[in-house]
Structure 1
Amino acid sequence: MAAARWSSTEFNQIIKADDLHIAPFREDGMTYGTPTWIWCVEVDGNLYVRAYNGQRSSWYQAALREKAGKIIAAGMTREVRFEHVTGAVNEQIDNAYKAKYQGSRYLGHMISDGSKNATIRIVPLNLKSAG
């Protein structure tokens, strides 16, 4: 089965709106956590977020543990899964943060090792089957 992909319309709306709220499941795997506003960036058609407070962030810990939840952005709510990100793609993610959030006093922190070590890729779940 091919991995789910964002529709280009949805993806562009999410990136441009810059109002993404992330809500991983709680420990029961059924109840969503409190939505947390977070910066998002795009690299090669993938949606990435980082925890400002690094690996101590409660939403980040829940995303790693539960691996699923929802996002709310651009007037849409989407069921998603979360994947921890490491490796060379982090340099591209840094560059995406620099381009999108240049001039922000928070940028340096978001590309620091602490936040970089708490990078998540958000992947949509297929809500509808073709056919």
Structure 2
Amino acid sequence: MSWDEHDAAVFAASEEITIETMRADGSFRPPVPIWVVVVDGDVYVRSSHGRDSGWFRGALTRHRARVTTWAESRVVDLVEVADLDDALDEAYRDKYAAYRHSFLPRLVGAPARAAALRLEPAERSVLAR
């Protein structure tokens, strides 16, 4: 299932979202703020700390999370991607150009490139915030 135009636009307009990866018991870990980009209508995130980040390790355990934008919360499936490094770098550089001298280099570096996920809607209904 892919995002509709409205949902993709909400992610594109969100400077930051939070992600709560799912534990084995179905509960969610505490929220972590993260930057998000949209490429060709698909929604992506990267771990700035690479694959060793706590939230990313949790993502690899269940491949399910709750994400919250400024508009709503949704449950998503998390799919690893490895073939979009250049496109994601460009999207991060375009969207977060104001941070090019501070945080942005961490999101286009090797550790983050190895820790990229596509968010796919797991449920169409919006969760209560």
Cα RMSD after superposing both structures:
1.2
For structure 2, which runs of at least 5 residues remain unmatched after alignment?
A: none
The structure 2 residue matched to 1:36, chosen from 19, 32, 37, is 32
1:111 counterpart residue number: 108
Q: How many pairs were matched up?
A: 123
The one-letter code sitting in structure 1 at the alignment partner of 2:104 is L
Q: 1:96 — aligned with what?
A: 91
Could you say which residue in structure 1 is the equivalent of 2:7? Answer: 10
Report the secondary structure of 2:98's partner residue. Answer: coil
Other-structure match for 1:60: 56
Amino acid in the other structure paired with 2:82: T
Q: Distance in 2 between matches of 1:51 and 1:82?
A: 13
Q: Report the secondary structure of 1:65's partner residue.
A: helix
- Identity, in percent, stands at 25
TM-score w.r.t. structure 2 length?
0.89
1:66-101 deviations in whole A, cap 9, x for unaligned? 1112111122111110011112x1110000001011
Which of 22, 27, 52 is the equivalent residue of 1:25? Answer: 22
2:17/2:33 contact within 8 Å kept: yes
- Stretch deviating more after TM superposition (93-102 or 10-19): 10-19
Where does structure 1 lack aligned partners over 5 or more consecutive residues?
none
CA distance in 2, matches of 1:38, 1:45: 19
Q: SS in structure 1 opposite 2:73?
A: strand
Q: Is the 8 A contact 1:81 1:122 kept in 2?
A: yes
